[in-house]
A and B are shown apart, each in its own frame.
Chain A
Amino acid sequence: QQQVKQSPQSLIVQKGGISIINCAYENTAFDYFPWYQQFPGKGPALLIAIRPDVSEKKEGRFTISFNKSAKQFSLHIMDSQPGDSATYFCAASKVSGGYNKLIFGAGTRLAVHP
């Protein structure tokens, strides 16, 4: 019930291509779905987040697509750049009540080749 399953484990994309990472969750009480980006030797940093009242959110080259009925959400990186090479984590939590316990996926290691 508390798991967040992320795929693929690793992804290689050519510069300019589209990177797509998928996540699925089980707990229907989750109401906050962030994506974090982590570079080697650094802590994760928030990239973009979505609440379940919308089906899509876009910020620059990054888009979250959310399918509430399927309990799935995905990150799309348009025009992928070598600087996007990092590990990406999806997460989910139930934030109502002022409590934000993030459950992270296992991560996707993205490599963007020039």
Chain B
Amino acid sequence: EAGVAQSPRYKIIEKRQSVAFWCNPISGHATLYWYQQILGQGPKLLIQFQNNGVVDDSQLPKDRFSAERLKGVDSTLKIQPAKLEDSAVYLCASSSGGGPDEQYFGPGTRLTVT
């Protein structure tokens, strides 16, 4: 079974530029999560989708971050404009349901904002 795919793996941008990350979850997984992991910290949930609907986006900085999940499969996370403090690894995860099902994480995208 293929795992969660993310691209790009690395991205360097200047502050105030925009950036987009892509995630392809495990086939058949209804729930998709985007996490932000700042160096030296645990992952923090930004947004959770159930199929193509948003379940929780309470910690998503909506003035600059946006996310969508097209047709309940792939998802993109966008930052516009980026700030220095957005430098982090952005992790995508998926699970078959929304309960205590295992969340499978992708390798992440390391974003550096200069």
Using CB atoms and an 8 Å cutoff, list the residues of chain A in contact with chain B: 4, 6, 32, 41-46, 49, 51, 89, 91, 93, 95, 98-102, 104-107
Contact = CB atoms under 8 A, between A and B. Distances in A.
Interface in B57-113: 91, 93, 95, 97-108
A113 to B, nearest CB: 22
Given A42-B107, A43-B4, A46-B103, A99 B42 contact: no
Nearest to A96: B99
Interface of B: 4, 31, 40-45, 48, 55-56, 91, 93, 95, 97-108
Kindly list the 6 A-B residue pairs having the minimum CB-CB distance in the complex, ordered from nearest: A43-B105, A104-B42, A98-B98, A95-B100, A98-B99, A32-B100
A6 B45 CA distance: 18
Contacts of A89: 42-43
Nearest to B41: A106
Nearest to B89: A43
A59 to B, nearest CB: 13
A102 B98 contact: no
Query: What's the dominant secondary structure at chain A's contact region?
Result: loop
Nearest to A42: B107
Contacts of A91: 42
Nearest to B4: A43
A79 B11 CA distance: 39
